[in-house]
Amino acid sequence: MTWSWELDGWIVVAGVLCAVASSLLGNFLVLRRLSMLGDAVSHAVLPGLAVAFFISSSRSSVPMFLGAVVVGVLTALFTEWIRGVGRVDEGASMGVVFTSLFALGLIMIVQAADHVDLDAGCVLYGAIELTPLDRISLLGLQIPRAVLVLGGVAILNLLFVICLFKELKLSSFDPALATSMGFSSTAMHYLLMVLVAVTAVASFESVGNILVVAMFIVPPATAFLLTDRLDRMIVLSGILAAVGAISGHVAAVIVPTWFGYQSTTTAGMMAVMAGLLFTVALLFAPQQGLVVKWVRNRLLSLRILSDDIVAFLYRRNEQAASVGLPISATASELASELFAGELQVRAALLVLQRRRELFRVASGYQLTETGQQHARELVRSHRLWEQYLVSEARFDTKRIHDKAERLEHFTDRPLRDQLHAATNAPSRDPHGTRIPTEKDEQPQANGSDSE
Q: Which of residues 81-100 bind another protein (CB under 8 A)?
A: 81-82, 84-89, 91-96, 99-100
Q: Quote the CA–CA distance of 97 and 33 in Å, as a whole number.
A: 18
Element (H, E) at 366: strand 364-367
Q: Which CB sits closer to another protein, 176 or 325?
A: 176
CB of 273 to another protein, least distance (A): 9
Q: Does 278 bind another protein (CB under 8 A)?
A: yes
Q: Quote the CA–CA distance of 257 and 255 in Å, as a whole number.
A: 5
For residue 193, give every residue at least 6 positions away whose Cβ sits within 8 Å of its Cβ, in sequence order, or none.
37, 41, 72, 73, 75, 76
Q: Does 223 bind another protein (CB under 8 A)?
A: no
Binding-site member from 179, 190, 246, 275 for another protein (CB under 8 A) = 275
Over the window 51 to 70, marking each residue x when it contacts another protein by CB under 8 A and - when it does not, the resulting string is: ---x----------------
Q: Does 391 bind another protein (CB under 8 A)?
A: no
Q: Does 204 bind another protein (CB under 8 A)?
A: no
Q: Which CB sits closer to another protein, 13 or 251?
A: 251
For residue 168, give every residue at least 6 positions away whose Cβ sits within 8 Å of its Cβ, in sequence order, or none.
28, 161, 188, 192
Q: Does 247 bind another protein (CB under 8 A)?
A: no
Q: Does 272 bind another protein (CB under 8 A)?
A: yes
CB of 161 to another protein, least distance (A): 19
On the CB side of 44, CA atoms within 13 Å amount to 29
Length reported for the chain = 451
CB of 383 to another protein, least distance (A): 38
Q: Does 271 bind another protein (CB under 8 A)?
A: yes
Q: Quote the CA–CA distance of 436 and 61 in Å, as a whole number.
A: 82
The interface region with another protein, picked from 119-127, 145-153, 382-390, 435-443 by CB under 8 A, is 119-127
Phi, psi dihedrals of residue 31, rounded to the nearest 5°: -65, -35
Q: Which CB sits closer to another protein, 288 or 370?
A: 288
User: Is the C-alpha dihedral spanning 88, 45, 211, 118 positive or negative?
Assistant: positive
Binding-site member from 225, 242, 311, 384 for another protein (CB under 8 A) = 225
CB of 57 to another protein, least distance (A): 14
CB of 193 to another protein, least distance (A): 14
Binding-site member from 124, 235, 250, 302 for another protein (CB under 8 A) = 124
User: Is the C-alpha dihedral spanning 74, 75, 76, 79 positive or negative?
Assistant: positive
The interface region with another protein, picked from 148-156, 194-202, 257-265, 368-376 by CB under 8 A, is 257-265
Q: Quote the CA–CA distance of 157 and 356 in Å, as a whole number.
A: 60
DSSP state of 152: H
* 3-class DSSP assignment, residue 364: strand
Size of the site for another protein (CB under 8 A): 74
The interface region with another protein, picked from 72-80, 325-333, 428-436, 443-451 by CB under 8 A, is 72-80
Q: Does 14 bind another protein (CB under 8 A)?
A: no
CB of 102 to another protein, least distance (A): 7
Q: Which CB sits closer to another protein, 101 or 384?
A: 101
Task: Give the end-to-end CA distance of the chain in Å, rounded to a whole number.
Answer: 69
Binding-site member from 270, 313, 334, 340 for another protein (CB under 8 A) = 270
Q: Does 214 bind another protein (CB under 8 A)?
A: yes
Q: Which CB sits closer to another protein, 279 or 444?
A: 279
Q: Which CB sits closer to another protein, 168 or 214?
A: 214
Q: Quote the CA–CA distance of 65 and 416 in Å, as a whole number.
A: 69
DSSP state of 365: E
CB of 398 to another protein, least distance (A): 30
CB of 294 to another protein, least distance (A): 10
Q: For 173-192, give one letter per residue: b (16+ CB within 10 A) or e.
A: eebeebbeeeeebeebbebb
Q: Does 191 bind another protein (CB under 8 A)?
A: no
Q: Does 440 bind another protein (CB under 8 A)?
A: no
C-alpha distances out from residue 218 to 193, 246, 256, 279, Å: 18, 15, 24, 10
Binding-site member from 127, 197, 207, 210 for another protein (CB under 8 A) = 210
CB of 166 to another protein, least distance (A): 23
Q: Where are the alpha helices (DSSP H) in 259-289?
A: 266-284
* 3-class DSSP assignment, residue 22: helix
Q: Quote the CA–CA distance of 153 and 155 in Å, as a whole number.
A: 5
Q: Does 267 bind another protein (CB under 8 A)?
A: yes
64, 116 in Cβ contact below 8 A? no
Binding-site member from 11, 14, 49, 252 for another protein (CB under 8 A) = 252
Phi, psi dihedrals of residue 134, rounded to the nearest 5°: -95, 95
On the CB side of 75, CA atoms within 13 Å amount to 37
